Structure 1
Amino acid sequence: MIRFNRAIKPFSVLSFDLDDTLYDNRPIIKAAMKAQADYLNKLAGYQEKGPQYWQYCRELAVQQQPTLVDDVTQWRKQTLRLALSKLGFNQSDMEHHAKGAYNAFADARSNITVSDDILALLDNLSKQYTLIAITNGNAEVERFNLNNKFALVLQAGLHGKAKPHSTLFDQAAVHLGVNKNAILHIGDSLDSDVQGANNAGCQSVWLNNQTANYAYKGLADIEIADIHALTHLIKK
């Protein structure tokens, strides 16, 4: 299914969200959280705090430092420091174990294998368009088989505010030397991907293949139910 909600202007760049757009991120995050928890549960006093302790510290961290909301990597690292310091670890041990727990998470977080059919789709699209990635997540593309598929990868926190802020889209346009309406952004979230692209003056594709409630009521320029519908963009 492909539905055009608005007439599409000429574009030369296809921008992709990563998590839940090019692969199912749910089992990956579940495995990463387990790897982090396995590390932390070996430390004195952590497991005794109970299953809600991580969420409590996560919320406390962003209350103390609201800008963390735009950088999931630093948010996690600061939450780890806070959780361990509240358990009484000294500065040196706190930093050591925060790093160890984060590395356990990060190793599992980027243990991703994108399917061959998606890789083939990207290869075909790249023959006619410049492909880039704009993500709010912290998967490290260079560590799995999306490496070298994109001319540019922009990550919230590392390169600017998270979508739906326009920062990452603005940077992409400047870096590539194109007008923002020459960028067609594809993502699964109405709130971050479609709203972000629309607000930035880019064009948008909503991959509507999940059951979720969104606050954003705007329309994507194009709506698809399957990522392979993007083959319609390939000019014969």
Structure 2
Amino acid sequence: MIRFNRAISPFSVLSFDLDDTLYNNHPIITAAVQAQTNYLNALPNWQAQGKDYWQQCREQTLLDNPELVDNVTQWRKSTLRTALAKLGYKNTELERHVNNAYQAFTDARSQIVVTNKVLDLLSQLSKRYRLIAITNGNVEIERFNLKGVFELVLQAGIHGKAKPHTTMFEQAAATLGVPTRHILHIGDSLDTDVQGAHNAGCQSLWLNDQPAKYAYKGLADIEITDIQALKHFLSQP
């Protein structure tokens, strides 16, 4: 299904969100969190803090450093540092456990395999459009089979504020030398992807393929329920 909610102007760039747009990220994140938890559970006194300890430290870390909301990698590392410091770890030992726990997380986080069907679609699209990725996540794209697919990859925290802020969209347009209106951004979230695209003057395409509640009430320019519906743009004059 592809539905046009408003007329689309010409575009030359397809911008993709990554997590839950080009692959199912839910089992990946579950496995990554479990890998980190397994490491931490092996440390003395960690489990004794109770099941809510991590979340409590995470929330406190953000209260102390609100800017971390735009950088999920640093937020996780800072939370690990806060949580372990409270247990008495210091200096070299503290940093060793922070790095090891995060490494356990990111190793599992990178166990992504994008389907051949999606890779083939991207290959076909790349013959007509410039392909980029704009993500709020911390996935390391060079560690799985999307490596080399995109001309440009922008990540929140590293390259600007998280979507729906406009900074990464604006940076993409400046880097590519195109107006933002020539970018069609594709993503699964109304709150981050569609709202962010609209804020920056880009065009938007919403992949509406999973149940979720959103605060943003704006209408995406285009709506699809299957990523393969992008084949529509292969046949356009």
TM-score, normalised with respect to structure 1: 0.99
- C-alpha distance in 2, partners of 1:233/1:216? 26
Deviation at 1:217, TM superposition (A): 0.1
C-alpha offsets along residues 107-162 of structure 1, whole Å, 9 cap, x if unaligned? 10011000000000000000000000000000100000000000000000011100
Deviations 1:180-214 (A, max 9, x none): 00000000000000000011000000000110000
In structure 2, the residue corresponding to 1:20 is in which secondary structure? coil
CA–CA distance in structure 1, aligned partners of residues 64 and 188 of structure 2:
30
Is the aligned partner of 1:136 residue 2:162? no
Deviation at 1:51, TM superposition (A): 1.2
Within 5 Å, give how 1:57-68 maps onto structure 2.
57-68=57-68
Give the Cα–Cα distance (whole angstroms) in 2 for the partners of residues 52 and 123 of structure 1: 44
Cα distance in 1 for partners of 2:22, 2:68 equals 25
> In structure 1, what is the equivalent of residue 111 of structure 2?
111
SS at match of 1:45: coil
Aligned partner of 2:14 in structure 1 is 14
Look up the equivalent residue of 1:171 and give its one-letter code.
Q
Structure 2 match to 1:235: 235
1:169 aligns with 169
Q: Which residue identity lines up with residue 134 of structure 2 in the other structure?
A: I
Is 1:30 the counterpart of 2:16? The answer is no
C-alpha separation between the residues in 1 aligned to 2:160 and 2:51? 32
Looking at structure 2, the residues matched to 194 and 91 of structure 1 have their Cα atoms a distance apart, in angstroms, of 43
Unaligned stretches of 5+ residues in structure 1: none
Aligned to 2:220: 220
**1:90 to partner: Cα distance:** 1.4
Map of 1:121 onto structure 2: 121
How far residue 91 of structure 1 moved from its aligned partner, in angstroms, is 1.9
Partner of 1:147: 147
Q: How many residues align?
A: 236
1:235 is displaced (CA, Å) by 2.8
Letter in 2 for 1:33: V
Distance 1:18 1:51 in 2: 30
List 4+ stretches of structure 1 deviating above 2 A.
none
Distance 1:205 1:42 in 2: 44
Equivalent AA in structure 1 for residue 130 of structure 2: T
Give the whole-Å Cα distance in 2 for the aligned partners of 1:133 and 1:45. 41
Q: Distance in 2 between matches of 1:235 and 1:184?
A: 16
Structure-1 separation of matches of 2:14 and 2:231: 12
Give 1:93's aligned residue: 93
Tell me how far 1:172 sits from its aligned partner.
Answer: 0.1
RMSD: 0.6
In 1: Cα distance, 2:143 partner to 2:190 partner: 28
Question: Unaligned regions of 5+ residues in structure 2, if any?
Answer: none
How far apart, in 2, do the equivalents of 1:130 and 1:142 lie?
19
